[in-house]
Amino acid sequence: TATVKPTGQVLVWAGNKPFIVTGAYGEGRVVCILGVPWGDPGPTETGFWEWNDWVDLFREVCWWAMKNPADLTLENTDGMGQ
Protein backbone atom coordinates (compact mmCIF):
# COMPACT_ATOMS: atom_id res chain seq x y z
CA THR A 1 0.00 0.00 0.00
CA ALA A 2 1.30 3.44 -0.92
CA THR A 3 1.19 6.41 1.40
CA VAL A 4 0.44 9.65 -0.42
CA LYS A 5 2.34 12.69 0.85
CA PRO A 6 0.26 15.70 1.90
CA THR A 7 1.47 17.52 -1.24
CA GLY A 8 0.36 14.68 -3.50
CA GLN A 9 -3.01 14.44 -5.17
CA VAL A 10 -4.76 11.17 -5.95
CA LEU A 11 -6.34 11.42 -9.40
CA VAL A 12 -7.64 7.85 -9.63
CA TRP A 13 -8.51 5.35 -6.92
CA ALA A 14 -8.68 1.56 -7.30
CA GLY A 15 -11.19 0.79 -4.61
CA ASN A 16 -9.67 2.33 -1.49
CA LYS A 17 -6.10 2.37 -2.85
CA PRO A 18 -4.43 5.21 -4.78
CA PHE A 19 -3.86 4.27 -8.42
CA ILE A 20 -2.62 7.49 -10.08
CA VAL A 21 -0.96 10.12 -7.90
CA THR A 22 0.47 13.46 -9.00
CA GLY A 23 2.80 15.88 -7.29
CA ALA A 24 5.65 18.30 -7.80
CA TYR A 25 9.41 17.93 -7.58
CA GLY A 26 11.51 21.05 -7.89
CA GLU A 27 10.12 22.93 -10.88
CA GLY A 28 8.71 19.78 -12.44
CA ARG A 29 5.66 17.59 -12.14
CA VAL A 30 5.59 13.95 -11.12
CA VAL A 31 3.08 11.21 -11.91
CA CYS A 32 3.11 7.85 -10.18
CA ILE A 33 1.01 5.01 -11.57
CA LEU A 34 0.73 2.39 -8.86
CA GLY A 35 -1.02 -0.36 -10.82
CA VAL A 36 0.61 -3.42 -12.31
CA PRO A 37 -0.90 -5.66 -15.00
CA TRP A 38 -0.69 -8.80 -12.86
CA GLY A 39 -3.42 -11.01 -11.62
CA ASP A 40 -6.79 -11.90 -12.97
CA PRO A 41 -9.67 -9.43 -12.79
CA GLY A 42 -12.83 -10.83 -11.28
CA PRO A 43 -15.63 -12.00 -13.58
CA THR A 44 -17.40 -8.62 -13.37
CA GLU A 45 -14.23 -6.49 -13.45
CA THR A 46 -12.05 -5.10 -16.22
CA GLY A 47 -8.29 -4.93 -15.80
CA PHE A 48 -7.07 -1.36 -16.25
CA TRP A 49 -4.85 -2.57 -19.09
CA GLU A 50 -7.98 -3.74 -20.94
CA TRP A 51 -10.01 -0.58 -20.30
CA ASN A 52 -10.85 1.19 -23.59
CA ASP A 53 -9.81 4.63 -22.31
CA TRP A 54 -6.55 3.57 -20.62
CA VAL A 55 -4.34 4.80 -23.47
CA ASP A 56 -6.11 8.19 -23.52
CA LEU A 57 -5.81 8.60 -19.75
CA PHE A 58 -2.14 7.64 -19.82
CA ARG A 59 -1.46 10.12 -22.64
CA GLU A 60 -3.23 12.95 -20.81
CA VAL A 61 -1.35 12.28 -17.58
CA CYS A 62 1.98 12.27 -19.47
CA TRP A 63 1.13 15.52 -21.23
CA TRP A 64 0.20 17.09 -17.89
CA ALA A 65 3.56 16.03 -16.45
CA MET A 66 5.42 17.54 -19.40
CA LYS A 67 3.64 20.90 -18.93
CA ASN A 68 4.25 21.77 -22.57
CA PRO A 69 4.46 18.75 -24.89
CA ALA A 70 5.76 21.01 -27.68
CA ASP A 71 9.00 21.31 -25.70
CA LEU A 72 9.55 17.55 -25.81
CA THR A 73 12.38 16.36 -28.04
CA LEU A 74 12.60 12.69 -28.93
CA GLU A 75 15.64 11.07 -30.43
CA ASN A 76 15.54 7.63 -32.01
CA THR A 77 18.74 5.94 -30.87
CA ASP A 78 17.99 2.31 -31.71
CA GLY A 79 16.99 2.61 -35.36
CA MET A 80 13.51 1.28 -34.66
CA GLY A 81 10.36 3.03 -35.81
CA GLN A 82 11.84 4.79 -38.80
- pLDDT at position 82 is 45
Are the C-beta atoms of 52 and 42 separated by less than 8 Å? no
Q: What separation, in Å, do the N-terminal and C-terminal C-alpha atoms of the chain show?
A: 41
pLDDT tens column, 39-53: 888 888 888 888 888
pLDDT tens column, 13-33: 888 889 999 999 988 899 999
Other C-beta atoms closer than 10 Å to the C-beta of 31 total 15
Judge if pTM exceeds 0.75: no
Are the C-beta atoms of 12 and 22 separated by less than 8 Å? no
Cβ-based neighbours of 31, under 8 Å, separated by 6 or more: 20, 21, 22, 61, 62, 64, 65
Sheet strands side by side (includes 17-25):
9-14, 17-25, 28-33
- pLDDT at position 73 is 60
